Amino acid sequence: MKVVLLSALLAWGFVPRAHAVWLGRLDPKQLLGPWYILAVASRAKGFMVEKDMKNVEGVMVTLTPENKLRVRSSRHGPNGCHQNTVELLKQDSRWVFENPSLGVLDYRVLGTNFKDYAVVFTQLEFGDETFNTVELYSRTEMASQEGMQLFTKWSQGLGFLSQQQARLQKDLTCAHELLQ
């Protein structure tokens, strides 16, 4: 199955080894629908300590009539499942979304085959902490080998250490709460 690499990260000073490359275009409509987040790489404070306790998350991506990308997620928190909805605005560049008022500085797909998996990059800012994540979205509860390899390639290429990467626990309770 042909892998279509979409857009690479801009060469930011704080993202080692990222190269500015444009390898294709993403029609946001191809990203729409239900997804499971099965793996995460993150530079967030506390991620390395908490990563072994993180469960699979559910994500539902829709497009509003105003062409905003609406991302609903369900993840396990201290008090059970927690759902969150974020609407992202399209940046000037193609198919890159943001909502700085909510702390989302950059949301883009790095690679996908459009039907089984997507590797998604997000740059977030909360208070004085700015960090980025790479997530493996999957249409199924099990990651495809191709999707997992692309997630690993992007994570390592962007300088994430192995301690900053995690396959999420197979507890699908919160994911199913959103996706069923």
Determine the average pLDDT of the residues in 9-22.
Answer: 33
Give the per-residue pLDDT at 26. Answer: 62
Per-residue pLDDT band for 25 (boundaries 50, 70, 90) equals low
Determine the average pLDDT of the residues in 50-79.
Answer: 92
DSSP label at 55? Answer: B
Task: Convert the pLDDT of each residue in 71-111 to its tens digit.
Answer: 999 999 888 999 999 999 988 766 789 999 999 999 999 99
Percent of the chain with pLDDT over 90: 68
Q: Count CA within 13 A, CB hemisphere, residue 10.
A: 11
Give the per-residue pLDDT at 22. Answer: 35
Number of Cβ within a 10 Å radius of residue 141? 13
Boundaries of every domain in the chain: 4-8+27-179
Start-to-end Cα distance in the chain: 28
Position 68, amino acid: K
Instruction: Give me the helices (H) in 7-162, please.
Output: 47-50, 145-157
pLDDT at residue 3 greater than cutoff 70: no
**Span of 24-28, 50-54, 70-74, 152-156 with lowest mean pLDDT:** 24-28
pLDDT at residue 28 greater than cutoff 90: no
CATH label, 4-8+27-179, candidates 3.40.50.12280, 2.60.40.10, 2.40.128.20, 3.40.50.2300 = 2.40.128.20
Instruction: Please state, in angstroms and rounded to a whole number, the distance separating the CA atoms of residues 134 and 137.
Output: 10
Give the per-residue pLDDT at 18. Answer: 37
Q: How far is CA 145 from CA 3, 32, 49, 76, 153, in A?
A: 12, 22, 26, 25, 12
pLDDT at residue 56 greater than cutoff 90: yes
Number of Cβ within a 10 Å radius of residue 78? 5
Across the chain, mean pLDDT equals 84
Task: Convert the pLDDT of each residue in 167-179 to its tens digit.
Answer: 999 999 999 999 9
Cβ contacts of 179 within 8 Å, gap of 6 or more: 34, 36, 58, 60, 74
